[in-house]
Amino acid sequence: MQYSQKVLDHFMKPHNIGKLENPDATATEGSPACGDQVSIYLSVNPETQVIEDIKFQSYGCASNIATASIITDMAKGKTLEQAKKIGWKEAAEALDGLPPIKMHCSVLAVDTLRKAITDYEIKHNLAEEAVFSKDSIVEELKKVIYPQVGEDIITLKMVKYAGFENGVAIIDLDIPKFDKYRDNVAEEIREHLEKFKEIKEVKITM
């Protein structure tokens, strides 16, 4: 697999690695695509809401370690609002690219940063816990990467319909039978959605 020099540099010598002793907020997320995990710890100035310190621990692959390293660099010194806008594509670009099959590793790192920010906001009454809806499902589907091209299935218009009725998530996919990633994508969708307590069943048609 071809990695850029920047990915290799951040993987060999990751920045901001470790744990903060008394973090103001933290999050740990796992990737449904591979089972790997990453934790992020934040120290935030309560007056300015600037991220003054940030650390991460990764139990993931080289791409995940490199992305966590670069997004913690990007987030440090930014306000929570600014840090929320860091996206997985931007993180991958900052690393001079990732192989398409490894894009989900960047999604995992960025998702964990956003969850840590949400953790801070909820603890400090800056935000309320989001009400689960069909939009929550669509947001989650934007994190499912089609590995052949390294793009999410919503952008690729592979989702014909996404709905939520009486605890059942209903997803209709537009992926041809001969597509070798079809079953992987369906499995990953299940893993993404089954973690929500609001979802009792996931129905996928293709």
Residue closer to ligand FES (CB basis): 102 or 143: 102
- What residues make contact with ligand FES under the rule CB under 6 A? 31, 34, 36, 60-61, 63-64, 102, 105, 108
Q: Coil, strand or helix: which one is 51?
A: strand
Closest of 11, 13, 18 to residue 38, by C-alpha:
18
> What are the phi and psi torsion angles at 161 (to 5°)?
-155, 140
Residue closer to ligand FES (CB basis): 66 or 117: 66
Active-site annotation holder among 83, 103, 105, 137: 105
Q: Coil, strand or helix: which one is 86?
A: coil
Shortest separation between residue 4's beta carbon and ligand FES, angstroms: 15
Shortest separation between residue 161's beta carbon and ligand FES, angstroms: 29
DSSP string across 12-27: HS-SSBS--SS-SEEE
Tell me, yes or no, if 105 is annotated catalytic. yes
135 C-beta neighbours (distance < 10 Å), count: 12
Shortest separation between residue 101's beta carbon and ligand FES, angstroms: 9
Tell me, yes or no, if 34 is annotated catalytic. yes
Instruction: Give catalytic residues, as residue numbers.
Output: 34, 105
